[in-house]
Structure 1
Amino acid sequence: MRLGKDYLKRIKENGFIDVRNRKGKFEYRVTEESLMDRLTTNTHEACLSIHENCRVLTVHGTHDRIVHVTEASEFAKYIKNHKLCLIEGADHEFTSHQHQLASTVLSFFKMDLKKDEGDISTSNRDHIRSALTIKSRI
């Protein structure tokens, strides 16, 4: 983690710390609660609690400096119905890869919708189709 020196002390004093990149741009905020949640989460156990019929998509950038790409690969080991898509060169926020991210997610939903054509009610199918027709403003 790139939280800096005495990060826990600063979080206790201020309630949070802001993490910035080398250029000083704000990247994310860490609170004591979010830090403890992150440190105490058993990823393996959490993955095993996902129902086997639940389809899961993980999209991860290969240049993510906040969450290493190997963590995304861990999901594939433990989630039965999992698809991992790595976007080459993307950072944590997909800064220069927004279109690829949107395209990947929409493709997953469209493929998922085709699989479920006979399994979902007409109203649910229409609702999902409506959501998929929303144009990305990215």
Structure 2
Amino acid sequence: MGQILDRLKAFGEFEIIHFGDKVILEEPIESWPICDCLIAFYSSGYPLEKAEAYAALRKPFLVNELEPQHLLHDRRKVYERLEMYGIPVPRYALVNREEPYQELDFFIEEEDYIEVHGNRFWKPFVEKPVDG
């Protein structure tokens, strides 16, 4: 994010207005600075809905679309979208439980591996949350 903003600033044709956490998190969108162009970077805890409401209110040019950023909240949807466009993803398996340690017919855990739908993953491996 910083590199992108630094490069824009280096052109000398843009005024960069950083809204800051206090403004974004605490202020109503009506009091946010008015800008002609908006770049909104997704991060954990970022109020994407507020940014969307600001964009609807002020109608700035959007460098990056806001609505598709909701996809980034769910790793399963990200992988699905990447696969849809033929972009390689790491080998993975999904185990969705309604409750912790729920018994599942398609999931087997042994001392040195797990098996999901017949696909074996040898330990150690990285387990990632959906919203990571």
TM-score with structure 2 setting the length: 0.26
Larger relative helix fraction:
1
Larger relative strand fraction:
1
TM-score with structure 1 setting the length: 0.26
Name the larger-Rg structure. Answer: 2
